[in-house]
Amino acid sequence: MYRVQSRPLWQNAGGGPSLVLDFIANPVVPAGWTFSRASTATWFDAQRVMRTAALNVARFDHDPATGAALGLRLESAMANLIPNSAAVGGAGWRSISTLVTLNALEAPDTSITASVLAAKLAGTTAFVHTPIIAIGANNTYAVSTWMQKGSAERSVVRVYDGSVQTKIAEVFLAWSGSVPSISNTTGVKGPATITPSFAGGYRLTFSFNSALSTTCALLLYPDADNGVESTGFCDPQLETGSFPSSYFETTGAAGTRTADFMTTSDLSWLDPQNGTLVFGGTFFSVADGGMFAFSLDDNANNGIGIYKINGSGALAAYSGSSGSTPLGLIVSDGQRFKAGIAWSGAGASASASANGNKSLAVAGAQAVKPAELCLGGARNHQFASNVLVRSLTYWSRRLDDAELAGATTL
């Protein structure tokens, strides 16, 4: 539901919210808001099919395993470092003892563009690998690829250095019928995951540290047992960061998906002195940089908002100063939360709560003069986040501590 009262509720006798954004029940960009992204980007519909959104078109995503609505997807800029990810084993890729059949299986977007890889001779190590990719030493990278059951009982995905001699990371998958499980990993940073995403297809994801390597290649093995069996592969991605983002297709050189921004400068619903904002959503790549759930600011300075700190999923609140107050909640990748901040005196006094926890006074609070409200970002696009926004609600009064804790209860 999206609702803006005809006159701000801070002028009314009531106490209900004057702004309600519910991107689960009403997945649209509300009137008065601007969404921008200077590239295409992918998302999943309720039928679990991957779709491509055009420039400046918002993505209201769904769980690729269940089709359940997830909310508004906002992501920071990302480069898929794999050239020609659209054709595994095609132009630019190198094939070692492997028969490659392009356009053989259904891809997540239902196009017949997935490749089947099959070993040519028993007793040989068969694989295909990407062109050599430049990376930074001692950085974290995320790998993802979709896979489908072929005739192989085990498959393996590896990352080697640019010489294709030194292994950096690997993930073995065992197939039980058409369903894979991760049987072994080496050099993987954090857990590897395998997620169903379309008929017969699964997305494998993992991350690794590049250590001293400044180049690498992604190797896909159709038969981990050196037989003559096959596995289907499509849409691989290599990107900086600890968690894979939405897929971005490349057909030649590496390509970049630009950042998403959702903002409004129409603050007609806002009481300049008092208010409460409560956000519901999910962060991704929490081990990476700081991210904003929302920011109500003047486009240049710290305003009023909720964010996760740099390097972890710890949530904090701030009001008009460079300092912040931890909310006692550390979220993991994909973990839902609700967090809110209530203020008076134009932000000079504030309290905050997350997931129904006791409200805490926000330290160092200062008055602000907001000009814009941004979801998943702050200060006129200076920051972008990896977040799924489920809801945002504003009351034109400062909820008391008990009310705020209640409003942030999941």
Task: Show which of 220, 254, 288 is a domain's final residue.
Answer: 254
Give the model confidence (pLDDT) of 305-316 as tens digits.
999 999 999 999
Dist. CA 182–CA 196, nearest whole Å: 13
Give the model confidence (pLDDT) of 219-278 as tens digits.
999 999 999 999 999 999 999 999 999 999 999 999 999 999 999 999 999 998 999 999
* Residue 373 and residue 269 share a domain: yes
CA 48 to chain centre: 17
Dist. CA 270–CA 19, nearest whole Å: 9
Q: In this structure, are residues 347 and 366 in contact, taking their beta carbons and an 8 Å threshold? A: yes
What's the confidence (pLDDT) of residue 133?
98
* Residue 189 and residue 50 share a domain: no
* Domain CATH number, residue 27: 2.60.120.200
Q: In this structure, are residues 341 and 401 in contact, taking their beta carbons and an 8 Å threshold? A: no
Dist. CA 74–CA 33, nearest whole Å: 14
Task: Show which of 254, 285, 305 is a domain's final residue.
Answer: 254
Is residue 410 exposed (0-12), middle (13-18) or buried (19+ Cβ within 10 Å)? exposed
Structural domain boundaries enclosing 230: 79-254
The per-residue DSSP string of 16-59 comes to: SEEEEEETTT--SPPTT-EEE-SS-EEEE-TTS-EEEEPTT--E
Q: Classify each residue of 27-57 as buried b or exposed e, where b means 16 or more C-beta atoms within 10 Å of its C-beta.
A: bebbeebebebebebbbbeeebbbbebeeee
Dist. CA 215–CA 391, nearest whole Å: 41
For residue 358, what is the DSSP state? P
* Residue 106 and residue 221 share a domain: yes
* Residue 264 and residue 295 share a domain: yes
Give the model confidence (pLDDT) of 314-373 as tens digits.
999 999 998 999 999 999 999 999 999 999 999 999 999 999 999 999 999 999 999 999
What's the confidence (pLDDT) of residue 317?
98
Of residues 334 and 5, more confidence is placed in 334
What's the confidence (pLDDT) of residue 15?
75
pLDDT at 4 over 60: no
* Domain CATH number, residue 249: 2.60.120.260
Task: Show which of 200, 234, 254 is a domain's final residue.
Answer: 254
What's the confidence (pLDDT) of residue 105?
96
* Residue 107 and residue 130 share a domain: yes
> What share of the chain has pLDDT > 90, as a percent?
94
Q: In this structure, are residues 101 and 274 in contact, taking their beta carbons and an 8 Å threshold? A: no
Amino acid at 244: P
Number of domains in the chain: 2
* Residue 94 and residue 68 share a domain: no
* Residue 318 and residue 368 share a domain: yes
Confidence grade of residue 10 (pLDDT, cut at 50, 70, 90): very low
Confidence grade of residue 140 (pLDDT, cut at 50, 70, 90): very high
Q: 260 is written with which tokens?
A: 């998403």
Confidence grade of residue 207 (pLDDT, cut at 50, 70, 90): very high
> What share of the chain has pLDDT > 70, as a percent?
97
Give the model confidence (pLDDT) of 144-194 as tens digits.
999 999 999 999 999 999 999 999 999 999 999 899 999 999 999 999 999
* Residue 239 and residue 120 share a domain: yes
The model's pTM: 0.94
Q: Quick one: which of 107, 45, 35 has its CA closest to 70?
A: 45
